[in-house]
Amino acid sequence: MPGWTFHLGPFLRSIEFSVTPQAFSFQALEKGRWLPGVTEEQPEEAEHREVEMFRQVLGKTLGFVGYTIQYGCIAHCAFEYIGEFVVCSGPSMEPTIVNHDIVFNERMSRHLFKIEKGDIVIAKSPFDPHMNICKRVVGLEGDKVCTGAPSDLFKTHTYVPKGHVWLEGDNLTNSSDSRNYGPIPYALIRGRVCLKLWPPHSFGTLSESPTKRIIKNPNNSD
């Protein structure tokens, strides 16, 4: 094979360059021993290496996306069927729930149709589906409820239609509720508030309604 030999001193006795149409190689002879050669990468090898790198990057990316979707689905199911933490705002549920209280809103009761009278629920506003309201269930379907304020001299009543609930705030003098917009569909209920988490001194279950609103069934007398 054609080549050229150069002497570079006592450490490297000779260096030989070999040129071929396929590759360029370099080898050095040190004290009678050939050093490993450095060979230029073939185009096919470079292309194969790039393809492998692309496959690795693509595989990691798809794996990350897959894990993201998987854990996103788990989180969605947890919030949809187990519960969520809610920061409350507004005075309508005082003194039971005050501004900035943090409560846990469980979803199982809603899905199992276990919402009962006296429960505090989180529901979608009948006026704005992007807004949630926190109220107490005062009447279920078929119940006779008072539509006026406690101070009204003449009481007015109505019946809760099928598939609906009657919601009121504990702070009757400062609450917009079913007395204003009527009974709301059961489907708007997002869950039942079962626990107050914050502030620490109020941690625990929620108290009963301070309004003492009497719920009458259709078969009860006035």
Q: Catalytic residue positions?
A: 92, 135
119/97 Cα distance (integer angstroms): 13
Strands 33-34 and 38-39: unpaired
Which tokens belong to 39? 């060979």
Give a three-class secondary structure readout of 19-48. Answer: ECCCCEEEEEEECCEECCCEECCCHHHHHH
Nearest 10 degrees: Cα torsion 130, 190, 187, 77: 100
Q: Which residue intervals of 94-184 are DSSP H helices?
A: 108-111, 178-181
Compute and round to an integer the Cα radius of gyration of the chain. 38
Q: Which residue intervals of 120-194 are DSSP H helices?
A: 178-181
Q: How many helices (H) and strands (E) does the chain have?
A: 3, 14
